[in-house]
Amino acid sequence: MQHNNTDRAVNATGVMKGPTVLAPKRVHPGWIPLAGTLSSLLVVAVASLWAMFAEDAGYGPPERIGSNGPVVAGAIGADDVPTTVITPVLPMLTRSPVPTRAMSGEKLFVHASPSVVRFEVPHGTGGGNTGTGFFVGPNGLLVTNYHVIEKRASDASVRIEMKDGRDITLEKVLDVDKLNDLALLQTNSRGHKYLTVSRNRPNLGSKVYAIGFPLSGSVSDLTITGGDANAYRNCPSPYIRGKFVERLQIDASVFPGSSGGPVLGADGKVVGVVVSGRVDVKSGNMNYAVPVDKLLDLMQKVRK
């Protein structure tokens, strides 16, 4: 009979001994810190790959971000939304915000309407016009189109009415951007609800909503219409001959009196300001808004 020498040994008399216990192999002490270093490098590599994926997927920090046709300038015409935050699973990852949840049109109207106001602007030469505006800060900071207040008889003559029926006073025109048809106003209102201005342009094809007072005779006529962000187009400037301005094309319906109203994304943030619409019948429902970054530029200029 043959026996495996590693399992049992046989003495000279043929008596089988018990199993031989093999001593464990000794690990060189130099391997221990090397293994720890390799483990740390692996964690760092995985964390870096995860961060790159998160940025590519759109979870990184937000960035700032035409056919020509007959355009009639002025013819057509709150609170932060809670956000969900991803808590990192891996160590050494920086927490990144996720997209704000979308609201239905009904909830968005309830969210935004206290921040939207109606303008009545008597002209110095007689007659007048109406328009829309909205608050972008808690201390009376109001946005509208320049053409809404351009022909005012005086600042004191402008009537600004809130959704609840209260009148507020125009204290001062802080600044205007004629090229992009924007005006930033200071009013005497304090502590009101206001809208958050997005730092990002809407993606084409994304849902947008226009809020304003079309053909308005009273604040009870506040209207919300929905559509999509269709394109970014270059349109002739109504104020500077030979100049073209970039507009966000939307198919949300707007009408005279809607000018200066907010265009909102599905998260309730301002992504544009209603400014004009096409007047030729063949164009269908083709309306325009000032892109949000033009508004951000004007707000930043005033803050300086």
DSSP annotation of 29 reads T
Residue 193 in this model has a pLDDT that exceeds 70: yes
Share of the chain above pLDDT 70, in %: 65
State whether the Cα torsion 173-199-109-76 is positive or negative: positive
Q: What is the pLDDT of residues 131-149, one digit of tens each?
A: 999 999 999 999 999 999 9
Residue 122 has pLDDT above 80, yes or no: yes
Indicate if the pLDDT at residue 21 is higher than 50: no
Query: Mean pLDDT throughout 236-251?
Result: 91
Look up tokens 């915000």; give the residue: 97
Q: How large is the average pLDDT for residues 291-298?
A: 97
Instruction: Summarize the confidence of residues 186-204 as an average pLDDT.
Output: 95
Query: Is the pLDDT score of 232 beyond 80?
Result: yes
What is residue 79's predicted lDDT score, i.e. its pLDDT?
33
Band (40; pLDDT cuts 50, 70, 90): low
CA-angle at 200, arms to 297 and 187, nearest 5°: 45
Assess whether pLDDT exceeds 90 at residue 222.
Answer: yes
The answer to whether the beta carbons of residues 140 and 190 sit under 8 Å apart is yes
pLDDT of residue 158: 95
pLDDT higher than threshold 50 for residue 113: yes
pLDDT at residue number 124:
80
Across the range 282-302, mean pLDDT stands at 90
Domain spans in the chain, listed from the N-terminal domain onward:
71-303
The average pLDDT across 274-280 equals: 82
Nearest C-alpha neighbor of 247 from the set 226, 233, 230? 233
Q: pLDDT-based confidence at 233, cuts 50/70/90?
A: very high
What are phi and psi for residue 285, nearest 5 degrees? -90, 75
List b or e across 106-118, with b for residues whose CB sees 16 or more CB atoms inside 10 angstroms: eebbebbbbbbbb
Nearest to 268 by CA among 177, 176, 202: 202
**pLDDT bucket at 304, cuts 50 / 70 / 90:** confident
Confidence of residue 153 (pLDDT cuts 50, 70, 90): confident
CATH 3.30.390.50, domain 71-303, yes or no: no
Q: Quick check: helix, strand or coil at residue 171?
A: strand
Q: Which carries the bigger pLDDT value, residue 289 or residue 78?
A: 289
